């Protein structure tokens, strides 16, 4: 099946994306944008109601790959009256879902080195619940300093790299809120965005947005139409596969809910499953540690209900559905743009919402190539490449 790189490489693939509402490059994108249907996110950032709010979302990683950097540069370079780009940081995923969440990797002449910010045994926890010790941050800084000694032969370049490392270290260790993996990584990538990309967007953690109830109404709408959500989602996946396009996501089963819960006993993030008892519907947790939970979602009209007050729930890959009415547009990446084609169908055919415009960076295809370049904004910033 065709990947995003394959689609961007040819005219047919680009036409396919365009026919499904994906704009490649900034030209014409701003003209498609309208103020958000709901003001919650604009209010959070203190923006005027008429502001066209474009978001770029990403996990709270410890580094930025080239393709991710492409996404942030595109958001940075958007220019139009009453348009603001903001960053939304996903801290409600499993830390081990991507190595970049927990580990810094560095290219060396004879291979790669890596250092963990948190132990591997904690990979099933969410970054927002994962503590990071100050002493560990100091050890990470020391490890990177050693890599600079090995990788940078020129004394002047090495000295400049050490100075940049010290500035980076001070920005992280000096950040009082950097006590969790999510907050630590946010401090790190915010520094990189500012120093490497010249970009300081307004930003928020997705857990903050959720705790304010800004996602709740649309989540409840999805829960109340969950059978239709599953049916439309699965057909959209089938249609993409039939078009020889990788949907990135898999089909959903009959027990599906777009929700996870962080276990009260071991902290692991586990999927909630749907169970019915008479006219009532429940979200059920069965953790491998033996812990179980059962949350009542309602009978006919479903909602988060008692689950919401726990603040230990999280959503899955369907997050863009719940953000749709809070924004004017989105700058997507190679994966989110593809599964966004599936979510667009859910938005329009199940929820009756108009999907906001999606933009892909015009240099995304280039950032997916050239394996000879270190795929690390951290490396590029420190050694000056």
CATH code of the domain containing 36: 3.40.50.620
In a domain, 120, yes or no: yes
191 and 280 fall within a common domain:
no
In a domain, 348, yes or no: yes
In a domain, 200, yes or no: yes
266 and 173 fall within a common domain:
no
In a domain, 320, yes or no: no
54 and 131 fall within a common domain:
yes
Q: Which domain holds residue 280?
A: 259-315
| pLDDT (tens place) for every residue of the chain, 385 residues total | 999 999 999 999 999 999 999 999 999 999 999 999 999 999 999 999 999 999 999 999 999 999 999 999 999 999 999 999 999 999 999 999 999 999 999 988 888 899 999 999 999 999 999 999 888 998 999 999 999 999 888 999 999 999 999 999 988 877 777 789 999 999 999 999 999 999 999 999 999 999 999 999 999 999 999 999 999 999 999 999 999 999 999 999 999 999 999 999 999 999 999 999 999 999 999 999 999 999 999 998 999 999 999 999 999 999 999 999 999 999 999 999 999 999 999 999 999 999 999 999 998 888 776 555 578 999 999 998 6
365 and 220 fall within a common domain:
yes
Closest CA to 313 of 261, 266, 258: 261
Burial class (CB in 10 A: 0-12, 13-18, 19+), 31: exposed
State pTM to two decimals: 0.95
In a domain, 52, yes or no: yes
In a domain, 138, yes or no: yes
298 and 183 fall within a common domain:
no
First to last CA, the chain: 34
Cβ–Cβ under 8 Å, residues 70 and 367? yes
What does the block give as tokens for 367? Answer: 């950032």
Among 277, 293, 315, where does a domain finish? Answer: 315
129 and 79 fall within a common domain:
yes
Among 288, 315, 342, where does a domain finish? Answer: 315
For the chain, what is the domain count? 2
307 and 351 fall within a common domain:
no
Cβ–Cβ under 8 Å, residues 325 and 37? yes
296 and 341 fall within a common domain:
no
241 and 263 fall within a common domain:
no
264 and 332 fall within a common domain:
no
In a domain, 53, yes or no: yes
142 and 185 fall within a common domain:
yes
67 and 149 fall within a common domain:
yes
In a domain, 322, yes or no: no
């Amino acid at each position: 099946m065709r990947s995003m790189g394959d689609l961007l490489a040819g005219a047919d693939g680009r036409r396919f994306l365009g026919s499904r509402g994906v704009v490649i490059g900034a030209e014409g994108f701003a003209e498609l944008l309208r103020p958000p249907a709901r003001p919650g996110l604009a209010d959070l950032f203190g923006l005027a109601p008429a502001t066209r709010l474009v978001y770029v979302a990403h996990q709270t990683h410890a580094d930025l790959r080239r393709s991710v950097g492409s996404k942030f540069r595109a958001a940075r370079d958007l220019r139009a009256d009453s348009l603001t780009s903001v960053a939304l940081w996903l801290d409600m995923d499993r830390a081990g879902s991507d190595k970049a969440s927990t580990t810094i990797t560095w290219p060396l002449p004879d291979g790669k080195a890596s250092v963990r910010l948190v132990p591997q045994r904690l990979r099933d926890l969410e970054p927002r619940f994962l503590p990071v010790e100050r002493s560990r941050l100091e050890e990470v800084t020391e490890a990177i300093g050693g890599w600079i000694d090995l990788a940078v032969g020129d004394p002047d370049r090495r000295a400049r790299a050490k100075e940049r490392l010290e500035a980076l270290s001070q920005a992280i260790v000096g950040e009082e809120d950097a006590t969790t993996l999510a907050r630590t990584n946010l401090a790190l990538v915010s520094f990189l965005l500012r120093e490497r990309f010249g970009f300081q967007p307004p930003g928020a953690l997705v857990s903050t947005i959720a705790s304010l109830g800004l996602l709740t109404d649309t989540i409840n709408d999805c829960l109340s139409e969950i059978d239709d959500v599953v049916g439309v989602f699965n057909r959209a996946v089938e249609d993409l596969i039939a078009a020889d396009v990788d949907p990135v996501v898999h089909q959903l089963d009959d027990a599906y809910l777009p929700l996870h819960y962080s276990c009260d006993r071991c902290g692991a993030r586990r999927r909630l499953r749907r169970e019915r008892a008479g006219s009532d519907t429940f979200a059920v947790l069965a953790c491998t540690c033996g812990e179980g939970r059962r949350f009542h979602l309602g009978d006919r009209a479903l909602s988060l209900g008692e689950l919401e007050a726990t603040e230990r729930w999280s959503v899955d890959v369907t997050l863009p559905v719940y953000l749709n009415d809070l924004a004017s547009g989105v700058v997507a990446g190679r994966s989110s743009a593809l599964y966004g084609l599936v979510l667009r169908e859910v938005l329009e055919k199940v929820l009756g919402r108009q999907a906001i415009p999606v933009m892909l960076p015009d240099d995304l295809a280039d950032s997916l190539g050239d394996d000879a370049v270190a795929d690390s904004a951290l490396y590029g910033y420190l050694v000056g490449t």
